[in-house]
Chains A and B, each alone.
Chain A
Amino acid sequence: SQQGEEDPQALSIQEGENATMNCSYKTSINNLQWYRQNSGRGLVHLILIRSNEREKHSGRLRVTLDTSKKSSSLLITASRAADTASYFCATGLGGSQGNLIFGKGTKLSVKP
C-alpha cells in the first residue's frame, strides 16, 4: 500500500516563482526522500532528510519535515522552465530491509 500522498497533484507557475509541494505519510519513518522524474524517464534523487532533522537545503531546494504531523514539504525557489517534471516523495524505514514507498507525485509545470 502506498504511504506518501503529495499535494497538490498538479501545479502550474511562472518562471521565477517559488513552487511548494507537500507530502503526507501514515506511519513512522526513518527518512524521507524527494525524487524528480522527467516525462517518461527514470527518477533522480534530489534530497534525503532524516527523521531527526527538521530542515535541509540543497541549492534552490529546501525540504522541511514535521514528524509530529507526518508531513514534509519541498520548496523550489526561483523556478525555471527546466524544473518542469513530476516530484515524488518516498518514505524509508531504514535498515537493510526497509524499502522506499513512493507517493503519487506532484506534476509541476513552469511556464517561461
Chain B
Amino acid sequence: EADIYQTPRYLVIGTGKKITLECSQTMGHDKMYWYQQDPGMELHLIHYSYGVNSTEKGDLSSESTVSRIRTEHFPLTLESARPSHTSQYLCASSILFGTGGTEAFFGQGTRLTVV
C-alpha cells in the first residue's frame, strides 16, 4: 500500500459550490500530480508540482486550481462546481528524478459527482 491518501473518497455536491479535494503523502516525494479519469477511460494529467511553491498545468485544461505550500500536501480546489466536473480525481506522487524513470504512487481517488 502506498502512503498517499485522498479525502474524501466520494463527494456529491450541488452546482456552484466550492470544493477542495485533499491529497497527502508521507513518502517525502517532491513531485505530485493530479489526474482526471472518467469511468472506464484514460487518465488525463491536469496539474503537477515539482515541490513547494511549484504548480504547473497538465495536458488537459481544467478549471480547478492547486497549491503546494507543504511538501506532503497537494490540494485541488474547484471554486464553483459544475456537472461537467463530475469525474474521478486521482492524486499521485513520485521522486523528482531517477535515471531511467520513476514509478508513481497513487491515492485511492476521489469520485466527485456534481448535481
Contact = CB atoms under 8 A, between A and B. Distances in A.
A96 B51 CA distance: 11
A99 B102 CA distance: 10
Contacts of A98: 101
A48 B103 contact: yes
Q: How many of chain A's residues touch chain B, expressed as a range?
A: 20 to 34
A101 B45 contact: yes
Nearest to A102: B43
Contact of A43 (B44, B58, B90, B99): B90
Given A41-B109, A103-B42, A105-B42, A30 B100 contact: yes
Contacts, number: 74
Contact of A88 (B6, B42, B107): B42
B104 A100 contact: yes
B108 A2 contact: no
Majority SS at the chain B contact face: loop
Interface string A3-16: 00000000000000
Interface string A45-88: 10010110000000000000000000000000000000000101
B2 to A, nearest CB: 8
20 contacts: A1-B59, A31-B101, A33-B103, A40-B109, A41-B108, A41-B109, A42-B108, A44-B106, A94-B99, A95-B97, A96-B96, A96-B97, A99-B45, A99-B48, A100-B45, A100-B104, A101-B45, A102-B42, A102-B43, A104-B41
Interface of B: 2, 6, 31, 33, 35, 40-45, 48, 50, 58-59, 88, 90, 92, 96-97, 99-109, 111
